[in-house]
Every structure is written in structure tokens, then in C-alpha cells.
Structure 1
């Protein structure tokens, strides 16, 4: 018997298998179907740009083939991660009509593959585009989730403005997806080890290890970046400290709960030292149960650690993470 409350659906994102998809030793569709066939989960979240070669206008035949293959192994699609390229190939900003036209084929594909939702970054669409997307969302029976993650704290002006826009639409067709990278009490052990191996100063490493949620640590991260001291080999990786790793407390979500329809259970590795992986999930479970509003939605395992971890089996790590998540959320 499933331990999760009624209305909770656990899923896995195909993003976890990004290295396998890039390696292209198997077709992307075969990798997606193996997630279900190998018993990791029955529900998957697709990244449109990585699973369909015909993206950004997915061909019906390619979409239908994936749908049929997934159905054959007992799988379903929770949502599809869309892409909204705001610039043309000549770097000209897309007009409103061009933005709508860019998304329309992806919505059609999400419907054909059997998805219940689609996803965009918080605030990217904007009020006018959301207004014009609503009829398409109705037509295709989809919910659009705008995602907040990392350092996009709900109280920050851009996120607050986007949340107010969603609320003003007064439509269940547009909801919020929260990535728990927003709630990190500490940094991933494997990430700190990678920074250490690259030669980051011991004093900064110590602060990152023990004082991640201290605002002064954020100031130190920015100051070191501006000093030019970040080794070139980890410059991109270092930017996670400014973008992808958040430090918000779970109570910051309390006022947003009525708008939340899904969660990304982001993890980077499974080293749960000081409960750095499980604590945000346990805190989230307490918040959901104390809200007085039963949560019904998808909780999706999403692994970001393949950015710096090589040779890790995505199937094994995702299966282990879902087990950990179920325990923490219970």
C-alpha cells in the first residue's frame, strides 16, 4: 500500500537521465520508457527539448510513438517542461504573437502524450501571454505550472509580482510549482568536495559548509566572484551558489500554498549528513499537513548533481531518492 496521502503522485523527471540522453547510446524514448519498465516510477515528467528530436514543434508521429510506448509499459506523463525562447535565431526579441506561436505546438504535444500539465519558469510568460494561453490550456486540458527554485524567494519583487499575476488570473489552469532547492539548509557534500578539489580558499569553504543560510555567506560568495579568484575550471559550477541553491525557510511558502500545485523534490546527491537532503522534505510535509488545505499534486524527483558527478547510475540514484523522499515526507 502506498504510504503517501490521497492525491499525492510521486514521479521522476527525465532530467535525471540527461547524461544518458546526451550520450545517445539509446534513443531518448527508450530511456524514458525504461524508467517505468525498470520499476522506478509509473509517472514521468518529460523535458520536451531532450526527448523529442522535432522540438520545438514536436511531430505528431514522434509524440504518439512515445505515448504508445509508455502506455505499453504502464507509464503516464505528469507534465512536460516547455521551453520559451524569447529570441529568434537573429537575436531579435520575439513578438507576443511569435511567443504564443512558439509555445502552441508544445502544448499540443503535451496533450497528445497524455500529460496533465506543462511547466515554465516563474514570470517568464507574463500577464498578456498567460491570458492568451488560457484558451489553449482549456482546449488541451492542461495546467501550466510556473516554477520557483533556488534563490527565487517568494518575497523577492520579481517572484512576488509573478505570484500576484497568477492570483489575478483566478484560474486553476495556472498554478505554481515549487522546487525544494528553494529550501536548502546546507550545500551538497559532493558539491563542496568539488569546490575543495578546485582550490577554493579554506575560509570560504568553511563558511559554505557551516553557514550557508547566513546572508553574510551570500555576500562572501559574491565578493569572491568579483575578486576574480574563482578558478576557471569551476566558474560555471560556482554560479550555482548565486542561482540554483536557495536558503529560504519553509514558512516562506505558507502564503503561497493556495497557488501551489506541484513540487520538484530537487536533490544533488544522497549524502544526508545533518539531514541536508531529508530535512527540507520533512519540513514541507509538516507545512502541508498544517495548512488545513489538503494538497493534491505531483512530487517529482529531480536530480541536479549530474552536473558535477560522473559515473552515477541515474536509475539507481533516482530509485533511492524516491525511497528517501517517501520516508521524509511521511
Structure 2
């Protein structure tokens, strides 16, 4: 699958894609994630430890070691481990910087123990003070910390830019950016639009979302619908994707930050690609990365299981095939 990709580009699959199976609990999370490699979907796996290990956020060595050996026996390895940073000890009491570091250290140790090359946090959550403490730990453990941007977190977003500027100023290859291409959506997923229509969103707004998604003014229409109370409560969470998880950027908007980027989430929602709304952004990204000499992981991540009931393995196989073709 990767034979025609440039050297240094690694296709992977995120265990997040199998969230519905993990929730069903018909098999153990370890078996489900190991099977990603054993069944030939992908031999490089990005792991969500919160749904994998019962002992998270302080994964126990025995649990980590057992999974590492099972995955290795299946021909797989871990790329990135998605960390969690709980900033509060209660609803009002925030952890000190030292306590935040203590919360992360067991997760970093687990990442090293499981053979991961990196760990992941949301962009800016760590902050400059904690990053200063984390830097030597990353070097000691031979890990890269990826700070993730996604959805409407455009690089010029005033809430994102300070964190990107700080990463650039650190100039440390152990602290990189991970870009989720939910930022690069020329149109909304067909299945999502269908779900909104079935959920009771007005035909007028649905038509606008379908035809004018890239128009920033569409956000005003989305907010007006929320304020008016016309969005049925049962789909509020699904509707909020429009304000958070779905972006309007173009691949060219990433050019200035590419020297900081070490990985991508090739986020997809469904596989309806009749108008290249899935493959188009990947192709554009591939051209850009080839020009910039990128090396790193490109990970299939399926967000559509929030409203679809398709088989995760089949969806991921098909998406990886589409991604490989689009990137090449």
C-alpha cells in the first residue's frame, strides 16, 4: 500500500476508528486494537490509551507490556500515544504545573514502554511553563510531543497562533505539530447533512450548509439557528460539529507551519467521494508535502462513527487505499 509513497511517509490507522467496537465490549480493547495489525488493516497504529488500558492515566507496566508483545506478534507497532491532561483536581481547583507534569509522566513512560515514537496533546494545552519541564523528559525517553490542531483551528486563529509561535521559538524537533485535516473540508460529509435533515434541522439551513459551507458567513447562520432554539435538542451535540470539528482552511494555509509539522490525521467522516470532498484535500496535501520534503505519519482517523454504523475495519481499509492513491 505504501510502496508508491515518498520515503519517510508512513500510513497508519488510529484505534479511535474502532471506538464503537470498544464500547460494545464484546472483545477486550487490547484484542480489538491488536486485530488492526493481525487482520492486515494497518501495521502502524496510533493508540488511544484511555480506551485501551484500565489503569489509565497511570498505565501499569504489566498491562502495557502485554499489549506491546501482542501487537508485535501480530506484526504491528505503535506510532503515537494520545495523552490526556486533566487540568483540574476538582471542578474549581486547577492542578499546579508540578501536578500537571506528574499527571503526564506515567503516560510518557507507557509510551516509551509500548514502543511509541510520540505522544499527543491538544495545541496549547501544555503551555510554555509545562513544555519547559517536559522537554528534557522527551529527550530522555526518545519521544516527540505532538500538539494537535484541527477543525476550525486555522494557523492564524488568535487562540492557536501563540502556541504555534512558541513551538517555533523552541526550535526543538522533540516538540512538533500534528495537523488534523478536518481543517481542510471543501464541503460537509453527505452522510452528516442527511443526518441533520433527518434530525429536524430546517431545509433552508441544510441547503445553505450543503452549498455554502466555505463561506465564513455560514457560521452566522449556524449561530442564529442555535440562538433561535430551532435546532432539536436531540441533535445538539451532532450540530456542534459545525462550530468545532469541521474547518474551512485550504492546504495552502498550512505552508508556513509545515517546518513544524511531524504528522497528520487524515480525518474522514464517510467515503462518499463523488465530488472529491474526501480525496481532494488529501491530494492537495500530498502535493504540498512533496514540495516541502515532509517526513512523518499520516494516520487514518474516522470521525463518522458518531452517526454511522459501518464496520470500522472495512471503512479504514477503504480509506487507507483511497489515501494512498490520493497521496501518490
CA distances 1:15-74 after superposition (whole Å, capped 9, x unpaired): 000011111111111011100000001100000111111000000000000000011111
Stretches of structure 2 lacking an aligned partner (at least 5 in a row): none
Query: What does residue range 176-215 of structure 1 map to in structure 2 within 5 Å?
Result: 176-215=177-216
Task: Note the 1:55-70 alignment, pairs <5 A.
Answer: 55-70=56-71
Q: Secondary structure at the match of 2:177?
A: strand
Q: Which residue of 1 aligns with 2:308?
A: 309
- Equivalent-residue separation in structure 1 for 2:111 and 2:102 (angstroms): 15
Name 2:95's counterpart in structure 1. Answer: 94
Give 1:1-330 correspondences, 5 Å limit. 2-89=3-90, 91-291=92-292, 294-310=293-309, 312-330=310-328
CA distance in 1, matches of 2:48, 2:92: 24
Kindly state the Cα deviation for residue 290 of structure 1 after the two structures are TM-superposed: 2.6
Residues in 1 aligned to 2:103 and 2:230: alpha-carbon distance in whole angstroms:
40
Q: Which runs of 5+ in 1 are unaligned?
A: none
Q: CA offset at residue 226 of structure 1?
A: 1.1
Aligned residues between the structures: 327
Q: For 1:90 and 1:144, how far apart are their aligned partners in 2?
A: 27
Instruction: Report the secondary structure of 1:274's partner residue.
Output: coil
Q: Which runs of 4+ in 1 moved over 2 A?
A: none
Cα deviations across residues 267-306 of structure 1 (Å, max 9, x unaligned)? Answer: 0000113111001001101111233xx1110000000001
How far does the alpha carbon of each residue in 1:93-121 deviate from its partner, in whole angstroms, 9 at most, with x for none? 11111100000000000000000000000
Structure-2 separation of matches of 1:313 and 1:289: 32
